[in-house]
């Protein structure tokens, strides 16, 4: 008895000691974060950051004021929540419940059954990006990252990408380690596809279901993501993070906890995946209702819980982690939403544009196959329904429409959204979910249609990679001729004060034009490399060829001048370009 009392006494002393340490550290942390809220201290910290780390003009003070203020508030909230979970009985009880629920869900999953399916999809995805890897193309931002070694994901609030890049590249300075990031990306995609089949297929993994998930990684839109040598792995991670929470859907508390963490990871890797989570929620709710797997009350509870969790995670990211950005200042997407008076009309306008762009991007064969697949979704829903058939028919149609709208994610709410192919990656996930749903316990004819569509995506991936390499060869040929002519006109460019501008862009190669007849999206995916007003192109055709004597006149510069208005004399005219110059300003007019 004495021994038990002594043990209990030691345990109590240890607990009190840990509580004292937690209280002390929390107090210090609260003092630090609260002090940041005072204007004088905040200004001192900002001045130090601007001077020693950020290397920007003091005009950025307003942005960094918001970042620092939100970070301080976030820090205070996190400390208070941590103290609640560690110092109170109810908090400790909540932590224990979540911990045990996660363990229970984890123990119910047979992870060994994921191995062979993951290897199968890894091989398929590898085949799909083989020509992209062989093209060895520096895609957009890759040019700056490889040439300067800068990460800059922080500017897009992609903090997880920023941190993981240090471990993947084993340095704070980036180097071109391709195809390693792309191989890691398809590894993540293969696991994402297996999990999606497992979740939508009611924990059944079939070969047909795995093949049906191919649009997840090989849709035309995600092919652009896989073209990035540096970003692809983090874009793929955002998809996986959106799917993982549904492994814990059987336990409410663990589902909410994992959802919040996963959604924050998604937001801090690639926000274009923001619609995936709610798409899966909508389809699962429809499955539960259509098959009477759960009561209406349980379905409503799951839907409301998921929606609140989703909104909480995104709002938490917006107010505490998202770095403000202005599209007018950056020339890029804005993070600001429509004002309340225009949010409905603005959102509907964005969704309309989204639908029009996809319709214009896809070829007739793709669109026909997709329409047939959607018809099979409705047919399968009615055929397998345990509800009234007519009711199932009329509900399946809004489910398709709602899922399509959600596939664009949070971008549909932005005043200036992004419509580049990589921003539309949610459409591929939308097709993957629909295809998996159709082939689950359904007739062979549906599987044939689904597999035919996905075979088209795989074939297009080969064409795209080859077209990328072909365009790169042509672009470097044009760059070589241009730099040869410039070096002849200005052999001492590095010693002169010269500014250069491009007008127009080079044309696509016959290979790209031929593909574009049937698949118009190819002209958005393939870079022309020499193009007017594209900063990474300017950097590539000068710096990458060690011809750095020119100042590039960028339209974002404060002192920007349009050289077309200067009426410059012609210095050289050739089949491929016309060079106009007054000895200080150089205008290169590219010809097709």
Vertex 76, ends 74 and 79: CA angle to 5°? Answer: 110
Average pLDDT for 412-421? 90
Give residue 476's pLDDT.
94
Nearest residue to 109 (alpha-carbon basis) of 186, 191, 183: 191
Query: Do 412 and 519 have their domain in common?
Result: no
Q: How far is CA 269 from the centre of its chain?
A: 6
More confident residue, 333 or 108: 108
Give residue 48's pLDDT.
60
Query: Do 431 and 522 have their domain in common?
Result: no
Q: Do residues 281 and 306 lie in contact, with contact meaning Cβ atoms separated by under 8 Å?
A: yes
Query: Do 110 and 164 have their domain in common?
Result: yes
Q: Evaluate whether residue 401 is within a structural domain.
A: yes
Q: Evaluate whether residue 376 is within a structural domain.
A: yes
Q: Evaluate whether residue 86 is within a structural domain.
A: no
Give residue 85's pLDDT.
73
- How far, in Å, are 1, 66, 319, 391, 557 from residue 329 at the CA level? 73, 17, 21, 50, 10
Q: Evaluate whether residue 166 is within a structural domain.
A: yes
Query: Do 533 and 431 have their domain in common?
Result: no
The percent of residues in the chain predicted with pLDDT above 90, rounded, is 56
Q: Evaluate whether residue 356 is within a structural domain.
A: yes
At 28, the pLDDT band (50, 70, 90 cuts) reads: confident
Query: Do 359 and 506 have their domain in common?
Result: no
Q: Do residues 339 and 413 lie in contact, with contact meaning Cβ atoms separated by under 8 Å?
A: no
In the predicted model, is pLDDT for residue 62 greater than 60? no
Query: Do 211 and 300 have their domain in common?
Result: yes
pLDDT in tens, 87-121: 777 777 877 888 888 888 888 888 889 999 999 99
Is the pTM for the entire model greater than 0.85? yes
Residue where a domain stops, chosen among 405, 421, 442: 442
Query: Do 415 and 482 have their domain in common?
Result: no
Residue where a domain stops, chosen among 442, 461, 481: 442
Give residue 355's pLDDT.
96
Query: Do 285 and 385 have their domain in common?
Result: yes
At 278, the pLDDT band (50, 70, 90 cuts) reads: very high
Query: Do 432 and 477 have their domain in common?
Result: no
Q: Do residues 185 and 236 lie in contact, with contact meaning Cβ atoms separated by under 8 Å?
A: yes
Query: Do 397 and 517 have their domain in common?
Result: no
Structural domain count of the chain: 2
Q: Evaluate whether residue 13 is within a structural domain.
A: no
pLDDT in tens, 355-390: 999 999 999 999 999 999 999 999 999 988 898 999
Q: Evaluate whether residue 55 is within a structural domain.
A: no
Rounded CA-CA distance 322/555 in Å is: 26
Domain holding 395, by residue range, is: 103-442
Query: Do 428 and 479 have their domain in common?
Result: no
pLDDT in tens, 186-198: 999 999 999 999 9
Query: Do 148 and 290 have their domain in common?
Result: yes
Vertex 100, ends 98 and 101: CA angle to 5°? Answer: 65
At 327, the pLDDT band (50, 70, 90 cuts) reads: very low
């Amino acid at each position: 008895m004495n021994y038990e009392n002594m043990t209990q006494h030691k345990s109590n002393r240890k607990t009190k000691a840990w509580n004292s340490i937690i209280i002390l550290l929390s107090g210090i942390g609260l003092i630090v974060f609260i002090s940041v809220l005072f204007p004088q201290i905040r200004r001192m910290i900002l001045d130090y950051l601007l001077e020693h780390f950020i290397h920007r003009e003091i005009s950025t003070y307003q942005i960094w004021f918001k970042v620092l203020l939100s970070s301080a508030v976030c820090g205070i909230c996190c400390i208070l929540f941590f103290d609640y979970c560690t110092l109170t009985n109810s908090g400790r009880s909540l932590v224990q419940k979540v911990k045990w629920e996660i363990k229970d869900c984890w123990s119910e999953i047979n992870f060994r059954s994921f191995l062979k399916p993951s290897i199968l999809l890894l091989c398929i995805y590898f085949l799909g990006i083989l020509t992209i890897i062989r093209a060895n193309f520096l895609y957009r931002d890759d040019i700056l990252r490889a040439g300067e070694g800068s990460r800059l994901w922080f500017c897009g609030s992609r903090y997880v990408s920023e941190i993981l890049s240090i471990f993947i590249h084993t340095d704070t300075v980036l180097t071109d380690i391709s195809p390693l990031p792309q191989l890691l990306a398809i590894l993540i995609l293969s696991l994402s596809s297996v999990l999606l089949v497992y979740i939508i297929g009611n924990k059944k993994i079939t070969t047909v279901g795995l093949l049906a998930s191919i649009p997840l990684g090989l849709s035309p839109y995600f092919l652009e993501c896989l073209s990035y040598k540096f970003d692809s792995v983090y874009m793929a991670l955002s998809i996986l993070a959106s799917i993982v929470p549904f492994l814990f859907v059987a336990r409410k508390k663990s589902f909410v906890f994992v959802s919040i963490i996963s959604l924050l990871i998604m937001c801090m890797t690639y926000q274009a995946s923001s619609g995936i989570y709610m798409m899966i929620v909508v389809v699962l709710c429809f499955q539960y209702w259509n098959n009477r797997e759960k009561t209406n009350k349980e379905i409503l509870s799951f839907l409301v819980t998921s929606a609140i969790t989703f909104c909480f995670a995104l709002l938490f990211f917006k107010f505490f982690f998202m770095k403000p950005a202005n599209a007018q200042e950056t020339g890029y997407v804005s993070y600001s939403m429509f004002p309340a008076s225009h949010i409905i009309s603005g959102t509907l306008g964005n969704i309309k544009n989204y639908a029009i762009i996809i319709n214009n991007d896809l070829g007739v064969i793709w669109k026909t196959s997709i329409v047939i697949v959607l018809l099979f979704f409705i047919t399968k829903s009615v055929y397998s329904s345990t509800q009234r058939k007519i009711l199932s028919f009329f509900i399946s149609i809004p489910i398709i429409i709602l899922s399509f709208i959600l596939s664009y994610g949070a971008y549909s709410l932005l005043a200036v959204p992004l419509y580049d192919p990589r921003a539309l990656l949610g459409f591929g996930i939308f097709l993957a979910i629909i295809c998996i749903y159709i082939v689950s316990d359904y007739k062979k004819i549906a599987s044939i249609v689904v597999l035919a569509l996905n075979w088209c995506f795989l074939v297009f991936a080969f064409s795209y990679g080859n077209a990328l390499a072909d365009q790169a060869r042509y672009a470097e040929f044009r760059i070589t001729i241009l730099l040869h002519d410039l070096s002849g006109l200005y052999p001492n460019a590095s010693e002169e004060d010269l500014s250069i501008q491009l007008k127009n862009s080079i044309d696509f190669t016959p290979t790209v034009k031929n593909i574009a007849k049937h698949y118009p999206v190819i002209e958005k995916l393939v870079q022309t490399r020499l193009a007017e007003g594209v900063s990474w192109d300017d950097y590539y055709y000068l710096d990458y060829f060690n011809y750095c004597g020119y100042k590039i006149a960028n339209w974002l510069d404060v002192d920007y001048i349009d050289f077309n208005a200067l009426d410059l004399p012609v210095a050289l005219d050739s089949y491929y370009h016309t060079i106009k110059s007054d000895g200080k300003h150089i205008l290169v007019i590219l010809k097709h």
